[in-house]
Amino acid sequence: MTQLQREAIDGALRASPLDLGGDPLEQRPLFEQMVTAVPIPDDVITTPGHLGGVPVISLEMARLPTEGIILYFHGGAFAIGSASASVGLAADLARKAHMRVITVEYRLAPEDPYPAASLDAMSAYRALLDGGQNVARVAVAGESAGANLAIATLLGASRAGLPQPASAVLMSPWVDLAVTGQSATTRAALDPALTVRALRLRAEDYLRGTDATSGSVSPIYADLTGLPPLLIQVGSHEILLDDATRLATKAAADDVEVTLEVVPGVPHVFQAFAAHLDEGEAALQRAGTFIRRHATD
């Protein structure tokens, strides 16, 4: 059954009009339409607001007790995507983790290049702690570029002398904006969603002259010492496979507790297809368990 599911999703992604390397103003509505195609369950309660001056959406499940907060960063190569578009995936993770999720509406490139998104992410995290939230019951999470921002927030917290959250979940992380991983070539024919050309265009828009191999924008080049336990999930059919495996290796070398899951035959951010893909549902279940296991009183 899962082979048929994987083939159906692969075909749908290849047929999609979305072009990550296209004009962001044209691609943003296409992306929103694609990721919101599955209706949000009726028990998901969303509340817009601000955190540290940054727009956010808070979400929780009706009648499901919450035991902490996940600060969530959406994907979209720093140029597309939104907090509202991430609600479906973030809500699935919230349900599995038994936590409330706050998904962050950080600024996008090319209108607002680096460091705008990182500053927004850090402002939201700082405000969450300033609001009295027990950091031992906080996790950060993100997908793709959002996973990059999640790690950037952890590194920013270290530099600022702020406490680390209990854990971090990183789905298909894009953490080498220089796009030097071998999988960029070896997995190109298998990846139905991403291309090297598109990633390099989006990285150029985001960086605007910042060195792509700087640890401030590409966490695989940073010192990860002191980060909380990481769960990294990636599909074997994505050109960012090496980003995930290299990040796990770097984290381990820096004495960070890290769990790497490479799921065979699935594409970039396969968890977003959990409603139609058994591997996606199972991965979210493992992510929720991971977050709960590391949360303490």
Judged on CB neighbours under 10 Å (0-12, 13-18, 19+), 130 is exposed
Query: CA–CA separation, 60 vs 72, rounded Å?
Result: 13
Vertex 200: Cα angle to 208 and 87 (nearest 5): 90
The question of whether 268 is a catalytic residue gets the answer yes
Helix H or strand E encompassing 278 = helix 278-294
Query: CA–CA separation, 259 vs 279, rounded Å?
Result: 17
Which of these, 132, 128, 269, lies nearest to 193 by C-alpha position?
A: 269
**Annotated catalytic residue, options 144, 167, 172, 183:** 144
**Annotated catalytic residue, options 60, 105, 143, 238:** 238
Which residues, 6 or more positions from 218, have their beta carbon under 8 angstroms from its beta carbon?
148, 175, 176, 177, 178, 212
**Annotated catalytic residue, options 60, 105, 143, 268:** 268
Q: Are 173 and 148 in contact (CB under 8 A)?
A: yes
Helix H or strand E encompassing 48 = strand 44-51
Task: Provide the annotated active-site residues.
Answer: 144, 238, 268
